[in-house]
A and B are shown apart, each in its own frame.
Chain A
Amino acid sequence: MIKNLLRVTGIFLVLTTLLGGLSAYAQNKPISGHVVDSQGNPVIDAYVTVVGNIRVSTITSLDGSYALIVPVGARVSVECIGYQTYTFTVGDRTVYDIVLEDDLEMLEATVVIGYGSQRKSDLTGSVVNLQLEDLRNLSTTDAAGALQGKAPGVHVITNGSPGSGADIRIRGYSSNGGDIAPLYIVDGLQVNSIQYLDPSMIMSIDILKDAASAAIYGAQAGNGVVLITTKTGVDGRPVVTYKGKATMQSFARRPQMGREDLLTYLGYEYGDAWVGKMLADYDYDHPSYPNGVIDQDWISAYIEPSWTQQHSLTLSGGNHSGHYYASINYLNENGVVKGDKDVYKRITAQINADYQIFRWLKIGSTASLERWDTKSVSQRGYSSSFELMLLMDPLTPVYWTSVSEMSSAVRQMYDRVMAGDKTIPQYRFLGDNNGWFANTKYSDTEGSPLARRDATDATSSGFNINGTLFANVDLFRSLTFTTRFGYRISQSMTHSYTAPFYIGRGSQDTYNLSATSNQGFYFQWENFINYELKRDKHDLTLMAGMSYRQDNADNMTGGSTGLDILPSYESQFQYLSYIKGDASKSLTNLPTRSASLAYFGRLIYSYDNRYSIQANFRADAFDSSKLSPDKRWGYFPSVSAGWTISNEPFFRDHVNTHTFNLLKLRGSWGRNGNISVLSGYRYANYIAVGNNWYQFDPENAGSVFSSAPDYSNGLPNPNLTWETSEQFDAGFDAGLFDNRLNVTVDYFNKQTKDLLFNVSVPIERGASSSTVNGGRVLNSGFEFDVQWKNSHRDFTYFVKANFSTLHNEVLELAANAARITASDASSTNYKLQTAFEPGYPVWYLLGYVYEGLDSEGDPIYTDFNGDGTISSDDMRFIGQGTPKFTYGLTLNMAWKGFDFTLYGAGIGGNSIVPVLHRTGFKNGLKVYLDQANTDANPDGPLPNPGKIVAPDNAFWSSSGNVFRGDYFRIKQMQLGYSLPDSFLRRTPLTEVRLYVSLDDFFTFTSYPGLDPETASTNNTTGTGLDWGSYPTMRKTIIGLNLTF
C-alpha cells in the first residue's frame, strides 16, 4: 500500500512541478507576511490567492504567516471565513502584513444547529463548536475519539481493540437503559456511529448539549446531538493533500503476579502444603526458562508491539459556481494481540460536491463509501481470550514441546488421535512452530488465550455507503426551500469456521461452519423552509419542515454443526456450499423495518446584536414496534434567550472594551426524548409460536411446537412512552484582552423522567419483569472552558482547558420499585451488584462496607441491620462507576516552523472494582498480595488471601476491593516541523510537515489494573466493573503531511 501511495504521490509531484514551471516564465517576485485579525491575533487557514489565477495561492499557517511567489503587479486577495476579504496590489515591497476586519454580516462564524446554521454570536444555547484548528493534527483514527478532552460536558470512553469505536456521553447518564449515546448527524444524515469518518475529513463538529439546541431533533435528542460537517472545497485552485502516518502500538502495564508472587499468594490462600503438592504434581524443569523455572508472563505471551498505517489523499477546490472535495483514506490497524487475529482495515472515500445551477437553485451531494474488514478476539467476558490472558497462571509455559509435557487428558486424547481412533472426533491440537499451546494443569481454565485466539477462523467485512443529495431552492428573496434525501446502504458478511480441537476443558467436538449476510437500507427525506428577514436592527429567521425516516434491514444466516459436515476439510471446502447432504443445517432470515415521522419548526429573533431569542418545536411519531398507535406522537418544545451585555451602550460607556470585549448571558429550557430504549412491541400482547417444543412420546421422535404468551421482553405494558428530558441551561461567554482570553461557563440542570424500568413483578404473573415508565434522574453540573491565545514575535501559543462537574442522581423510581439491580459480575460469583436507586448516582456499586481487619486479621464489614451476620441486606453504596468530573487540556505552540501539541483528558470521582478474582491456581492483580495483611506485611490494609479465598466472599464485593478510577492521560504529545516557505518556494509544495507523536503514552492513575479508561467500556449497567477489557495501547507515531 505504501508503495502504491508513493507512486501516486510521485505522479502528483511531477504534474504539479510541470504546472508550477509554466507559471515561472512570468516575471515573478516572492512576497510574504502575517495575517492578523483586528485584535492582532494570527488568522490561521486564510487563503492568499492571486486574483484571476487561483493556482497561485497558499494558506496561512498557525502563526498567520504566508509566503507566495506572485507576478509583479498582481492583485492578491486574502480571504477567510468570518472576515472581510482584503485585496491589495503587489508593488515594490516584499512584505505585506495584513489585518483582516471581522465580517459582522453573513460571513461571521457560523454554527451548525440542525436544519440550518446560526451566527455564533446569536447562539442562545450551549453548543460546542470544534473547528479545523481543534481537529488539526489529531492522530486518532476515530471521529468520536477526536472529541476526547476537547469539550466540557462531553465524556468520551475509548476501547483499545482495533475497530471498536469510542462511546460518547454528553452531560451525564440520563437513562437506566443501555443506549445513551448522542444522536449523530453527519451532513444532515442520521448515522448510528461515526467510526467510519476519519477525523481528517471533518470540517467541524458541533455538539448540541443543551435541550433547547437539541430540541429540533426531538425524541432522539435526549442524550445530546453531535453534528458533523465534512469538508468541502473552497474557491481557489485545486489543493492536493497527502497525509500519512505509521503507528507503533505497545503495552507496558503488568499488573498481574509472577511465579513467586502467585505461589506466595496461593500459599496464603490454601496453605503451602497444598501448593507444594500441586507443584509436585505438575511443575517441571523447562529448558525455555532461566534455570528451568517456569515463570511465564502471559501478557507478554499474548501481546506484542504492532504497527498501524494510515494514508489519506485529498483533492479539493471550487469556484463561484461549484465546489468539490474528494478524499480517500486507508487504514490498516493490527492490534497488539500476537498474530493477525485482531485487525481493522478500512478504506473510505468521501466525495462532496455542490453546484449552483441557477441563481435560485443549488444542488449538492455528500457521499462516503467505506469498505471495512475486521477480525477480533474476545474480551470482557467469561472465557474470553483477554480474561484467560489475565487468569492463566505463570507456572504454565506458553508451549508444550513434547508429548510428555501435556496434561494427562490432552495426552490421552492426543495418543488416541495419533493412533487413528475413529470413535472420537478428529481433534486438532493447537499450536505453532514453537510447539503446542499449553493449557494449565493447575486449574480448569478454558485453555491458553492463544488457543482461544486460534480455535476459530472468523472474519467480518462489509461496505457502507452513506450520503445525502440536496437541493436548495431560493423561492423568494430570503426564503429558501431545502429538500434533502439521506441514505445509508450497508452490506456485511461474516464467516466463521471451527474444526474440532482439544485443549482439555473448553474443547470442541464438532465442526462448526456459519456465514451471515446483513444488508441495510436506511433513508430519510427531509424538507424544510428557511426564511430570513433583516430590517434595521431586527433579525428574524424562521424555519419549518418535516422529516420521514425509514430503516430496513435484512439478513441471512446459514450454518452447520456436526461431527462430519464437509466432504473435505481443507480451506477451499470451508464454505456453506459444500455442506454434506446429511449434515444438519440451519438457516435464518428475518427482515425488519422501522420508521418515524416528524414535523418541526424554529424561530430565531435578535435585536441589535444585543437580544436574541430562539424557540423550537418538534412533533415526533414512531412506528408500531416502539409505541402503540394511539401513543405514538410526542411533542418537544424549547426556548432560549441571550443578552450580549457588551453590546449595550452602558457597557461600552463604562468598560474598556479592549480589556473586556465580550460578555454575553445565555439561558435555555427545552424538552427532549429518548426513543432508543423502546423496541420489540413491548406494549402489546402476543402469543409466541414455536419457540420451543416437547416430545410427548419417549420412544418415537416427533415433537410438538409450544406456544405461550410472548414475554421475552417481560410483561407487556400498553402505557409505554419514551423517556423525556427537560433541561435548563444558563451560561455566559466572555472575551477579554481583545479576545485573547475567552471564557465560557455553563450550568445545566437536566431531569429525565419516564425512564423505562424493568421492574420486578411477581414471577407468578408469567414473567419476572415488566417495562414501565417512571422515575426521574438528575444530571447537573458546571462546565468551564477557558482559552488563551497569544503570540510574541515568531512564537504563538494557544492554551485551552475545560473542566466539567457532574452531579448525577436518581431522584425517584417507578412505582413499586425500591431499587433496581443488575448483576454484571454474577457469572464470577461476586455478590457485587450495580444498582439504580433514589439518592444515588445511576448504577452505583452496591456492596459491603469494608471497615478493615480485626485483631485476628479477619475482615470486618459494617453490619447495617445489626443482626450479627453480614448478608445481602448489609450491602450499601460503595462507589460509582461514572465520573464526577471530567477535564481536558490542550496546549499548542508554534515557533518558526516548529509546532508542538500536548493534549490530555482525565476523569475523576469514579470507582472501579476488578471482578477477575477466581479460586484455585489462577492469576490475579498483584496489589492483592502487596497490600495483604501477612507476616511479611503486618500493616497491610487488605485481608490475608487465606481469609478471602472465594469470589463470593464478601471482601471481593466490598469497599475494600474498590479502587479509584481517576486518571489523567496525555492523549497526545506531538512535535511537528513544517519546512520553511523559502525552501518550498522552489517546489510545487505549499506545505510539508513532519511530525512525531506519542499518543496515550503517559497515564497518571492509582488504579492497579490493566487500564482505568477501558475498564468498563461498552457497558452501562456494569460501569465500574473491570473484566479485563482490551486496554488502550501506547502509540508512537511518525507522520508526514504534504500539500500541493
Chain B
Amino acid sequence: MKKILISILIGLSFTAVSCTSWLDIPKKGVIPEDEFYSSDAQAEALLANMYVSLQGANGVAGSSGIYNPQLMILNYSADDVLAAGGNPEDHGEFRVFDEFRYDNANSALLNLYNGYATGIYAANLIISHFTTENVNGEEPYFTSDYTDQCVAEARVMRAYLHMMMALSWYAPNIVDRVLEVDEYPVQATDQSQVLSWVISECDKAIKSGNLPERKGPNDKLATARASVGFAQFVAGKAAVFNNDMEKARKYLGALIESGNYELTPSEEYWTNFHVAGDGNSEKIFEPNFIEDANFTYSSFALGQPVWRGRWMVANVLCWRLDNLASTPTVCEKLPGSGGGWNGGAIQEDFAKKFLEHDGDSPRRRACFLTEEEWLYEMDWSGSQFNDALLIQKQRDPNRGISSQSGVYSHGPYFEWKFMVYHNPPKILTGGKSYPADNIASMGANSNQTNFNLARYAEALLLYAEACIGSSDAAKGLKALREVQTRSGSGKLSNKLTIEAVMEEKQYEMWFECCRFHDLVHWASRGFVDLNKVFNSSGIHEHVPTVSDAFFLLDESGAPAYPKYYQKEHHLVTTYSRAVFDAFTIGRNEYFPFPRDVKAANPYLEDVLGWSDYGD
C-alpha cells in the first residue's frame, strides 16, 4: 500500500515538473523577424512582396472584391465613363462616383486608400531595413549592390503611390519609413508638399544609379519593375501637377530622349490594353500578372487557380450580355461566369465627339464601336452569318439587343477598350493571330492583362503640357504630334496649346485613370470650368437605355417600329432621370478620407470641403 502511495506521488510530481517544456511549440512556416533582412535573396523576396502588393486583394492594380478600385473610382468620377449596372441602383458603390453621391463610408474608396497605403508599407520595408531611413537611423545589418537596387525601386514605387494619393486626397500622410507599432503617420499640409517630396525621392533614386534601366523599346524586363524611366515619369507627372513645369520638362524630356520607349504602331494601339501588348515598347511600368502555371496552381490555392488582380473586372467591363440576342465571340465565355455588367460604358456625348475627331481611326475602334460596327462587323457566337452579306446580318435575329428592356446605363456606342478578349476581335486584329486575355483554365472571368500604371503616350502628353509657353515648345509640339500621328485620326496640331493637349489627352488616355485628376488640375490652372463640365453640361441628369428596334414591341405587344421589326437592326436610345448630386466646387475635386481610416487615426484631418462635411 505504501509502495503504491509513494510511487504515485513520485509520478505525480514528475509529471508536474516535466510538462512545462511541452508548452513550447514553435510556429511553422515562418522565420523569426530578427533573423531576417540579411541577404540578397531576402531582399528580392521583399521586392516581390512590394510588387505583389499592387496586385493583391487591395492592390492598386488588383481587384478588391468585385472591382478594381483605382480603375473604377478614378474613371467614374470623370465625365466620359458611365458606371455599371442593370438598373439605377445596381453597383451602387461605384455609381455614386459617377453621380457624386459617395461619402466616406464607401467601401471601394477604403479599398483604394488601403491599396496605396499597403504598397507604401511594402516599399518602406525595403527602405527602412536596407538603409538608415528607419525610426532610429540605425545602420542596416546587411547591404549590397542588390539591396541598393531594391531600395531604389522601392523609393520610386513609394513615390508613385504617394503621388496618386496626393492627387486623390490632396493632403495624405507622407510615410517615409516603417512606423513603430504605436506610431501615427504624419499628414502633409497640402498637395504640393507631397508632390515636391515625390519629385525629390524620384530624383534621389535616379541619381543613385541603382535603378534598372530599360535597354531599348524591345526590352520587356524593365516594364515589370520600377526603372529609371518610371522614376522620370513619376517625377515629371508630379511636377506637372505641382505646376513646376521646368522640373517636369527635365524628367519627362530625359525619358523621351532616352529612346527606350516608343509608341506602338497605330494598328496595334489596342494591344496596349490586352495581353498582346504586355510589356510592349510603350509600357513604362505595369505590375506583371502571373502566368506561371506552377505558381498559379500552387498548393496555396488547394487546387483552385489563383485569380490575381483582374478577377471580375472582366465581368464589370463587359457588355450586359443577358440583354443581347447572342454572345459576341470576343467575350463568349462570360455568360458562364456572371455575364457582363456593363461597367465601362462610354458617355454618349463624348463618344460622338471622339468619333467626330478620330473618325475610323485604329485608336477610336480600339476604344469603342459604332452601332454599325457592333451589329455587323463584329462576330456573334450565336450567328450563322458572321461571314455573310450585310443584308443577311441585318435580318439575323442572333445579334443585337433582344431584351425589351434594353441595355440600361448604355448608349448606342459600345466600348471595349478594357474588355476581356476571349477571342481578340477581327475588327482590331485584321485577322492576325494574337494571344487571348484569358488563360483557358483560369475561369472565364479572369483577365491576365497587366494593369498599366504608366504608358509612354501619357508621358508625351504630360511633356507637351509642360512645354507650353516655354523654350521647349517645339519639343512639346513634337511630342503631341507623335501621339496624334499614332492615333490614326489624321489630325495634327501646328501649335502647342493647352486646348490641343487637353483635347488629345482625353481621347488618347480615355478610361486610363487620368481624366479626373487632369480636370481638377486644369481647373486649378483656370483652363477648365468644373461647374460647366459636371453640372451645367447635364451629363449626370439622364441615364441612357439603348434598345434594338428589330425586337421592340409596344405595350400592346405589336411591333414598336414596324419598319425595323424583324427586318433590320436599329438602335433606339431613351433616357431616364438619374439620381445625382451636384459636383460641389471646393469639395468634390478630392475624396474624403475613408471612415475606417479616420477611425484608426484620430490625427488625420479631412481637407478642403470635406473637413466640415458630415459634422
Which residues of A line the B interface, CB within 8 A? 270, 273-274, 276-278, 280-281, 360, 407-409, 412-413, 427, 441, 443-444, 473, 475, 481, 483, 502, 504-510, 512-514, 525, 527, 546, 548, 550, 557, 559-563, 584-588, 590, 593-597, 599, 621-625, 629, 632, 681, 684-699, 701-710, 715-717, 759-766, 768, 770, 816, 818-819, 826, 829, 831, 865, 867, 869, 871-873, 919-920, 949-953
Contact = CB atoms under 8 A, between A and B. Distances in A.
B23 A444 contact: no
7 contacts: A276-B555, A360-B1, A507-B336, A548-B22, A590-B29, A629-B23, A819-B599
A829 B96 CA distance: 13
Given A762-B184, A867-B613, A509 B326 contact: no
Contacts of B301: 586
B118 A686 contact: no
Interface string B166-205: 0000000101001101011100000000000000000000
Contacts of A689: 29-31, 45
B12 A527 contact: yes
B508 to A, nearest CB: 23
A949 B89 contact: yes
Nearest to B286: A698
B151 to A, nearest CB: 16
B443 interface: yes
Contacts of B45: 689, 704-707
Interface string B90-124: 10110000000001110100000110011011100
B555 A273 contact: yes
A816 B26 CA distance: 32
A831 B553 CA distance: 39
A911 to B, nearest CB: 22
A473 B32 contact: no
Contacts of B11: 527
Interface in B393-413: 402-406
Interface string B236-247: 000000000000
Nearest to A416: B381
A566 to B, nearest CB: 13
Contacts of B403: 277, 281
A871 B103 contact: yes
Nearest to A565: B303
Listed from nearest, the 3 A-B pairs whose CB atoms lie closest are: A950-B89, A559-B303, A507-B336
A625 B299 contact: no
Given A709-B125, A762-B601, A597 B23 contact: yes
A770 B179 CA distance: 14
Which of B326, B614, B615 is the most central at the interface, judged by chain A CB atoms within 10 Å of its CB?
Answer: B614
Contacts of B122: 708
A693 B295 contact: yes
B267 interface: no
A280 B404 contact: yes
A692 B337 contact: no
A226 B288 CA distance: 55
A696 B25 contact: no
B150 to A, nearest CB: 12
B553 A698 contact: no
A596 B295 CA distance: 38
A707 B36 contact: yes
Contact of A867 (B30, B173, B595, B615): B615
A867 B92 contact: no
Which of B34, B48, B122, B223 is the most central at the interface, judged by chain A CB atoms within 10 Å of its CB?
Answer: B48
Contacts of A919: 86-87, 89-90
Interface residues of B, number: 122
Contacts, number: 339
B116 to A, nearest CB: 9
Interface string B276-318: 0011000000001011111101111111110000000000000
Interface in B120-137: 120-122, 125
A763 B183 CA distance: 11
B586 interface: no
Nearest to B443: A509
B388 interface: no
A873 B184 contact: no
Contact of A563 (B19, B107, B303, B440): B440
B262 interface: no
B600 A763 contact: yes
A505 B46 CA distance: 38
B338 interface: yes
B562 to A, nearest CB: 16
Given A509-B443, A698-B450, A701-B291, A762 B185 contact: yes
Contacts of A953: 89
A685 B32 contact: yes
Nearest to B179: A765
Given A278-B404, A865-B614, 6 more contacts: A557-B302, A599-B16, A687-B33, A694-B48, A706-B52, A873-B614
Interface in B325-375: 325-327, 333, 335-339
A409 B322 contact: yes
A277 B404 contact: yes
B405 A593 contact: no
Nearest to A716: B181
Contacts of A594: 25
B404 A281 contact: yes
A708 B303 contact: no
Contacts of A715: 181
A951 B90 CA distance: 9
B33 A709 contact: yes
B339 A703 contact: no
B601 to A, nearest CB: 4
B262 to A, nearest CB: 17
Nearest to B381: A412
A471 B405 CA distance: 78
Nearest to B325: A408
Contacts of A280: 404, 553, 557
A698 B23 contact: no
Contacts of B120: 764
Contact of B52 (A274, A595, A692, A761): A692
Contacts of B92: 829, 950, 952
Contacts of B52: 692-694, 706
Contacts of A559: 302-303
A444 B339 contact: yes
B42 interface: yes
B278 A590 contact: no
B292 A703 contact: yes
A762 B33 contact: no
A508 B440 CA distance: 12
Contact of B291 (A587, A695, A867): A695
B298 A586 contact: yes
A623 B303 contact: no
A698 B223 contact: yes
A328 B563 CA distance: 79
A969 B47 CA distance: 60
Contact of B382 (A408, A427, A596): A408
A280 B114 CA distance: 45
A869 B614 contact: yes
B585 interface: no
Nearest to A471: B8
A506 B20 CA distance: 52
Given A624-B23, A761-B600, A587 B221 contact: no
A968 B304 CA distance: 45
B471 interface: no
A952 B106 CA distance: 11
Given A413-B336, A701-B293, A764 B103 contact: no
Nearest to A704: B48
A548 B21 CA distance: 12
Given A584-B303, A629-B24, A505 B36 contact: no
Nearest to B106: A872
B597 interface: yes
A952 B302 CA distance: 34
Interface string B543-560: 000000000010101000
